[in-house]
Amino acid sequence: MTEVRMRLRQKGQQFPTQDLEAFLLAFGDNDFPLPETVRVLDEIVTDYIIETCHEAAAVAHHARRAKIKLDDFKFMLRRDTGKLGRVSEMLETDKELKRKRKAFDTDEGAVLQKGDAKEEEDVPAKTRGKGGDEEGERKKKKKKKDKAKKEKFGDDESVV
């Protein structure tokens, strides 16, 4: 790492003790690690995260941007292929899960809309509200606008 930055002195640990103990156990420590070991691991992880964010901010500053993007972290990790591969794998998994959630929500919504349409057929035309069709059209227009905005400005996922 470049220069050591002073981390803010907050009371207590930044990460839960149970999580840190699980990491230590996964890497071969005994079931009940010493409290000093947990404290030191917490400091190491916190310092690493702070340094990583500072380096990504430096990359963004070099690119003359005020905001840090996901690409800045990728660029910063370009020499560490193991970490970069893991980050890329996690991002792909996240995108896949979002696609699956979206498909699941869409399918469920379609089933509900079909059920609502059957109920509307039973109700006479005079008792039906005017807003039913207009609301659906508004939603379609909003989706088109959102899609066009994403294509123009990129995904929000790339901004951290």
Residues, the chain: 160
Yes or no: say if 74 and 84 are a contact pair by the CB < 8 Å rule.
yes
pLDDT digits (tens, 9 = 90+) for 86-123: 999 999 999 999 999 988 877 665 655 555 555 555 55
| Structure tokens given for 36 | 């000093």
What distance in Å separates the CA atoms of residue 118 and residue 27, rounded to the nearest whole number? 58
pTM > 0.95: yes or no: no
Digit-coded pLDDT (tens) for 19-36: 999 999 999 998 999 999
Q: What percent of the chain has pLDDT over 70?
A: 59
| Alpha carbon 24 to chain centroid, angstroms | 26
More confident call, 57 vs 140: 57
Q: What does the pLDDT read at residue 1?
A: 43
More confident residue, 116 or 54: 54
Amino acid residing at 105: D
Radius of gyration of the chain from Cα atoms?
25
Q: What does the alpha-carbon distance between residue 139 and residue 105 come to, in Å, rounded to a whole number?
A: 15
Per-residue burial over 98-109, b if 16 or more Cβ lie within 10 Å, else e, is: eeeeeeeeeeee
Cα separation, 13 vs 141, whole angstroms: 48
Measured in whole angstroms, how far is the alpha carbon of residue 89 from the centre of its chain?
13
Higher model confidence: residue 123 or residue 75? 75
